[in-house]
Amino acid sequence: MSASDAATLRVDRLTVRYGGRTALADVSLSARSGELVALTGPNGSGKSTLLRAVMGLIAPQGGSVRVEGANVPELGLIERARRVAWAPQEEPIGENISILEYVRFGRHPHLAPFANEGPADHAAVERALRRVDFWEERSRGIAELSGGERQRVRLARVLAQETPLLLLDEPTAFLDIGHQLDALERVQAIARQERRCAVVALHDLNLAARFADRIVVLSHGRCVASGTPKEVLSPELLADVWGIVADLRWDPVTGLPYLLPVLPMDRPPLAGTVGPRPMARVHVIAGGGSGAELIPRLAREGFEVSVGAVHLFDSDAELGERLGVAMATEMPFTAISPPVARHLEALLEACDAVVVAPVPTGSGNLANWSILAGWAGRRPVALLPMPREPSWDFTGGAATRLREELLRSGAEEVGGVDDVVRWLRARLPDTATRSSRPSA
Amino acid sequence: MNAPPGEPVPREEAAPPRRWGPLPLRVLVPAIVVGLFALLVGSTALGSVPIPAATTISIFFHQLTGGFVPSVACPGSVASHQCAIWTEIVWQARVPSLVLALAAGAALAISGGSLQGIFRNPLADPFLLGLSSGAALGAAAIFVLDVDPAHQAALLPLAAFLGGIIPGAVIYLAATLSRRGPTVLILSGVALSTFFSAILSAMLLYNPSSDVSLNFWLLGSLGATSWSDDGLVVGVTLVLGTVLYLRAREINLLQLGPEVAQSLGVRPQRTIQWTVLLTTAITATAVAFTGIIGFVGLIAPHLVRRLAGVDYRIVLPLGALMGGIVLLVAWDVAVAAIPPIVIPVGIPTAFIGAPFLIYLLYRRRAPGGSALDA
């Protein structure tokens, strides 16, 4: 049918206000048959509100919602229910009816007033139940189902409604990772094979990226991005919308992007996670990704971190930049110059302790070691163990000698990142005076 | 239709046995109908005047079939003038009471079942929600106000309905506006019920000219009835009960919460409003002729749900039959307990109903939300 080219759902400049608060502002989106569109955004961004407004459960203050060309608010309830099916995150379980009876409820809009279900209805219910692999278990009571089973049965109820448009509000809520994948795989298959259009609210971006043909991102009731997962997902968007630092990576198997959240930016550490010395300042010598675990961890533990010297565009330099820590940076492919060396010395002077990551060392960053060796003894220094293979020392042994010199002059080798945190806590008792809290 | 070829179209018979509703309808419905009729016939033997059971049953069928089977009302050993008196007693006094028991029991059960459905509250019952006492107060006003007896029969149900409107509106608002649990709805109803009963008691105590017995209104009676009263209760219950039955599918959908119901094409507010209005009318009609009879509307739908599952298309009609059985049994107990006195029928229903309510209160799972909670 040529209808497949036209949009099944077209939302145009939709605005919804609740008691003075604007829940949706000028949101536009469209979705075609065969497509799974993920609606994503932080909590309270308006995902559920948008689905409810499309279903017609909320009257919008402006804009229009069209399903297969028909204006939803003008449709009668039954007409709406024949075009749009909606599954909320959670439904009350009143009586313990059977799965079969529950899924049969989806046929209501297709029944004449006061009529009972006919053969076509029974066939639709059976198809829906087979689709979610529940036909054989149709006489079980819904109150006995687990969360994952309940989600599948709810999907069957919505499928039995046989609408061109499916609205699913967090169909993976309360599910473990296996059931999350299972649920979305089914929705994707249904959309593609039955040429239906599924609009799914999902707060999990990786699930959205994995299964959605297109992603629509809402933030504070506005549509801030829309497109394929590749087009939409970017570290900038994540920083803007969710306020998180995340690495965007590519799944080599699916060829799809996925995200690895790092930690919240410009946000104070959570209460209770902060150590007794929130102001204790730790300088980290890293580079080449050797600080990838250490630097964010120290920041999360409540230490004020500085980094350097590192080269611009080095992954540790980018990490430091995202975290907003003080850094001494040098231009790429250049040896550490005197001004950067002075900057490093200033950072060392300002810190309470130094931690050296297993940093691959060449002529470009050898000066880190020599400056630290010349300055040793004035602050506690922890050295993380260097890998035996591959070699980290590209200076013909100069860096190794400087490291041994540091160990002789009081630096300590500490086993891992956890040990570093413990070591710092033990080493910096008196810095508690820097915090506003009285020392214990 | 849209079933793909080769895929078998499922049929009702193909459904596996329901674990949660053990009895299939083809067993349950005949059992209930036969049980009800047997109970009705047997109950003719009970009364303050001792009449042999064989005779009352014979009279019952003779009258029922218009003198056709058996061709004489009483067995040959009964003198004809005695037979005439007994026929009068059985057909003009006893059977009307029994029919009223069936009709009022059905009315209360339909009301209770519908209210339980729309409020998603297993404790809902016209008596516990105060509908019955409101209606009783309205009906009693007709006696106290000395209305011309010629108009009383017609005005009684109307006055009862007006009396029931107040608790009806209150429970509607309490259920749809309050986000408190189902127990709060019932407690509000019990408070209303107590309040109306107090006013009713005061009205009847300070109006000694009225020949209406206080007990009759407060605890219910089926004794003072006639075929014409029965006709009214049966007619109203049948008509309004059918209207409610036609909304049973919507009541089913309300179990999924108001938003899901709306997404499936039901206007939850409208269904709830109509149902409260209709149950008020049905309850009021029954109460106008029986006084306050508690718990029938609570017990009967629960029995049916236990036996046949929770589809309201089954709960309402079968619940009506079950309500008839429950009230008939209660009436038999009321008649036979301390002969020749007939105790108020609300006493036996309370003896079964109060422990049943306590059982429900303790058995219930985690409390749900208000009727309009998602």
Give the pLDDT confidence of B295-345 residue by residue, as tens digits: 999 999 999 988 888 889 999 999 999 999 999 999 999 999 988 888 999
What does the pLDDT look like over A59-94, one tens digit per residue? 899 999 999 989 998 899 999 999 999 999 888 776
Q: What is the largest CA-CA distance in chain B?
A: 79
Q: Once rounded to an integer, what is the mean pLDDT over residues B68-74?
A: 85
ipTM for the whole complex: 0.81
- The architecture (CATH level 2) of A281-433 comes to 3-Layer(aba) Sandwich (3.40)
Nearest to A141 among B19, B252, B368 (CB): B19
Measured between CA atoms, how close is A413 to chain B, in angstroms? Answer: 57
B179 touches chain A (CB under 8 A): no
Would you call A86 and B255 a contact, using CB atoms and an 8 Å cutoff?
A: no
| Nearest residue in chain B measured CA to CA from A77 | B265
What is the residue range of B148's domain?
Answer: 96-363
Task: For residue B264, list chain A residues with Cβ-Cβ distance below 8 A.
Answer: 81, 105-106, 108-109, 161
Would you call B10 and A94 a contact, using CB atoms and an 8 Å cutoff?
A: no
**Residue B218 pLDDT greater than 70, yes or no:** yes
> Which part of chain A is CATH 3.40.50.300?
2-263
Outline where B208-311 has alpha helix (H): 214-219, 227-246, 248-254, 258-263, 268-290, 296-308
Nearest to A92 among B12, B305, B368 (CB): B368
Nearest to B260 among A91, A113, A116 (CB): A91
Nearest to A92 among B1, B18, B120 (CB): B120
Total domains in chain B come to 1
Taking the alpha carbons of A24, A26, A30, A36 in that order, is the dihedral positive or negative?
A: negative
* pLDDT at A191 (0 to 100): 93
Contact predicate B164/B240, CB 8 Å: no
Q: Is the peptide bond before A268 cis (omega within 30 degrees of 0)?
A: no
Q: Once rounded to an integer, what is the mean pLDDT over residues B159-175?
A: 89
pLDDT above 90: percentage of residues in chain B = 55
Would you call A101 and B373 a contact, using CB atoms and an 8 Å cutoff?
A: no
Task: For residue A84, list chain B residues with Cβ-Cβ distance below 8 A.
Answer: 263
A138 touches chain B (CB under 8 A): yes
Classify residue B200: in a domain, yes or no.
Answer: yes
Nearest to A139 among B18, B259, B373 (CB): B18
Within its chain, how far is the Cα of B112 from the centroid? Answer: 8
Contact predicate A431/A308, CB 8 Å: no
Task: For residue A108, list chain B residues with Cβ-Cβ distance below 8 A.
Answer: 249, 253, 264-266
Q: Once rounded to an integer, what is the mean pLDDT over residues B137-166?
A: 84
Would you call A95 and B263 a contact, using CB atoms and an 8 Å cutoff?
A: no
Measured between CA atoms, how close is B1 to chain A, in angstroms? Answer: 6
Q: Once rounded to an integer, what is the mean pLDDT over residues A165-178?
A: 89
Chosen CATH of A2-263 out of 3.40.50.300, 3.40.630.10, 3.10.310.10, 3.60.20.10: 3.40.50.300
Task: For residue B248, list chain A residues with Cβ-Cβ distance below 8 A.
Answer: none
The residues facing A353 across adjacent strands are A282
Nearest to B17 among A105, A119, A139 (CB): A139
| Nearest residue in chain B measured CA to CA from A136 | B16
B181 touches chain A (CB under 8 A): no
Classify residue B103: in a domain, yes or no.
Answer: yes
What does the pLDDT look like over B23-69, one tens digit per residue? 788 899 999 999 999 999 999 999 888 899 999 999 999 999 988 88
Within its chain, how far is the Cα of B94 from the centroid? Answer: 19
Element (H, E) at B165: helix B149-177
Q: From residue A347, give the alpha-carbon distance in Å to each of A298, A306, A311, A341, B368.
A: 16, 7, 16, 10, 60
A333 touches chain B (CB under 8 A): no
Would you call A109 and B305 a contact, using CB atoms and an 8 Å cutoff?
A: no
> Which part of chain A is CATH 3.40.50.720?
281-433
| Nearest residue in chain B measured CA to CA from A56 | B263
- Mean pLDDT check: name the lowest of A17-31, A256-270, B46-60, B259-273: A256-270
- Mean pLDDT check: name the lowest of A16-25, A277-286, B159-168, B192-201: A277-286
Contact predicate A282/A428, CB 8 Å: no
Beta strands in A186-256 (DSSP E): 197-201, 214-219, 222-227, 244-250
How far is B187 from B361, CA to CA, in rounded Å? 12
Nearest to A97 among B265, B310, B374 (CB): B310
A-B Cβ pairs (cutoff 8 Å, strict): 113
Cα–Cα–Cα angle for B30, B36, B38, nearest 5°? 100
Classify residue B29: in a domain, yes or no.
Answer: no
Q: State the pLDDT confidence band at B179, using cuts at 50, 70 and 90.
A: low
Q: From residue B105, give the alpha-carbon distance in Å to each of A282, A392, B219.
A: 81, 90, 14
Classify residue B68: in a domain, yes or no.
Answer: no
pLDDT above 90: percentage of residues in chain A = 37
Q: State the pLDDT confidence band at B181, using cuts at 50, 70 and 90.
A: low
What does the pLDDT look like over A251-288, one tens digit per residue? 777 778 888 776 554 555 555 444 444 568 899 999 88
What does the pLDDT look like over A333-367, one tens digit per residue? 888 888 888 889 888 888 889 999 999 898 888 98
The residues facing A261 across adjacent strands are A246
Would you call B249 and A162 a contact, using CB atoms and an 8 Å cutoff?
A: no
Question: By C-alpha distance, which of B97, B217, B70, B259 is closest to A167?
Answer: B259
Q: State the pLDDT confidence band at B209, using cuts at 50, 70 and 90.
A: low
